[in-house]
Each structure stands twice: as C-alpha cells, then as structure tokens.
Structure 1
C-alpha cells in the first residue's frame, strides 16, 4: 500500500469498514511508515476533539466557513 492509498482509506479504517485484506495492508504500511503512523494518530485526535464540539457553540461565521470548505473539497 502506498501513502496515497492509505490517506484515501483512513476514514474507512478508523470506522472499521475496511475488508480484512485492505485492513491488513493498511496496518502493514503503518508498521513501516512513520509519516503515515503520525497522520493516522493526528486523524484520531482530530476526530476525538471535533466530536466534542457542540454545533450550537459555533458562530455563524465559523459554521458557514466550515460548510463552504467541505463543499469545495474535490470529490471523485
């Protein structure tokens, strides 16, 4: 597995949604790639922190900015 493939699959991995073969390849790559290991840990921390944010606590400006960023994200 390449680093690019890992980045594409990180959400599925963290959700436990990869098939066993893809998960095996993902974990094997993490074992040999410090950069991807750090990336996955950063994603875990981000998810944990963002999961603590109450939607009502965001200002309208922040909410709109986030929604705009997500809408602008390239889709395959």
Structure 2
C-alpha cells in the first residue's frame, strides 16, 4: 500500500525525497520505496522519518479505521 500520507507531508514541507532521506539517514531509494508501498520500514526507521518531518507516528504510519474496514 502506498504511503500517501508521508509523501504529502514531505511535499507540504517542500522536501525532496533526497532531502528527507538525508534527514532520516537513509537513501533516497528507501524513501521512494516506502512512498510506493514496496518497502515496509522498521519501527526505528519510521521514528527517524517522523522526527525528520516533525510529525507523530500516527500522522504518517497509522491506518485510518475507515480505510481498514474497506479492505
């Protein structure tokens, strides 16, 4: 599943994938794969991304209850 919340927050802050990757200490490819839903990040990486974006885990990585019921 694509992580549209992370991508939207990154774009809202005018960050490229490369810039976010540098802040989270990962590669740009890792950020791209997470946004594309092709990589399931560890909790440690999720926390690093949230710190880099200055948001909570819930804001970026928590599924909406309504969305879970649809699947």
* Structure 1 and Structure 2 fold alike (TM over 0.5): no
Bigger radius of gyration, 1 or 2?
1
Q: TM-score by structure 1 length? A: 0.29
Q: TM-score by structure 2 length? A: 0.30
